[in-house]
Amino acid sequence: MQRQVIHPHDIGMTIGLGAQRLRERLLAAGADLVTGTPYARYHSFTKDETDMEVGFEVAAPVDAAGVQMSTLSAGREAILTHHGAYMGIPKTFAVLEAWVGDNAVSRGVPREVYLSDRDEIPMAERQTEIVWPIE
C-alpha cells in the first residue's frame, strides 16, 4: 500500500499511476496478489485535502521498497456496487454513507474496490464496490 495526502482533484491520477507503480513493485518482490485490481481507502476527506491509500490485497506480507503493509479489518461491511464511469462514484458513495448513517455504526474507513481491469473494460461497463466497515 502507498499512502499520501493529496488534493481531491488528483484522486484519479493518484489511483491510476499509484496502482501501476505499486503493482510493479509488489510483483518484483514476489507478492501473491489476491486480486489483480486495486483498492483505494480514504482516511480523511475534505474539499481541500484527502488522506488516502492505494493498495492491493496480498496473500502474505511483502518486503518491497516504497511499499507499506496495511490491514483491512475483518467483520461486517456494507457494500454498494457502482456501475459505470468513475466520475459517478461520489454519488454512489453518498448513498452508502447515508445508509450507514441511518442503519449501522461505522467501525472504520471506507474503501473503493475496483473490480474491473481499466485496460480491458470500457468505462461505461466498469464496476466498483464501495465498502464500508460496520458494527
DSSP 8-state secondary structure symbol assigned to residue 37 = S
pLDDT of residue 124: 94
> Domain count of the chain?
2
CATH of the domain at 122: 3.20.80.10
85 and 113 assigned to the same domain = yes
Task: Indicate the pTM of the whole model.
Answer: 0.88
Q: Is residue 41 within 8 Å of residue 61, measured between CB atoms?
A: no
Last residue of a domain, one of 72, 92, 121: 72
Last residue of a domain, one of 39, 72, 105: 72
Per-residue CA distances from 98 to 65, 67, 75, 130 (Å): 39, 33, 20, 13
Q: How confident is the model at residue 118 (pLDDT cuts 50, 70, 90)?
A: confident
Residues 10-32, mean pLDDT to the nearest whole number: 92
Nearest CA among 52, 56, 59 for reference residue 24: 56
Q: Which domain, by its residues, includes 51?
A: 1-72
36 and 46 assigned to the same domain = yes
Residues 6+ apart with CB under 8 A from 8: 45, 46, 47, 48, 49, 50
98 DSSP β-pair partners: none
78 and 68 assigned to the same domain = no
95 and 52 assigned to the same domain = no
pLDDT tens-digit series, residues 52-64: 999 999 989 988 8
83 and 133 assigned to the same domain = yes
| pLDDT exceeds 80 at position 73 | no
Q: How confident is the model at residue 21 (pLDDT cuts 50, 70, 90)?
A: very high
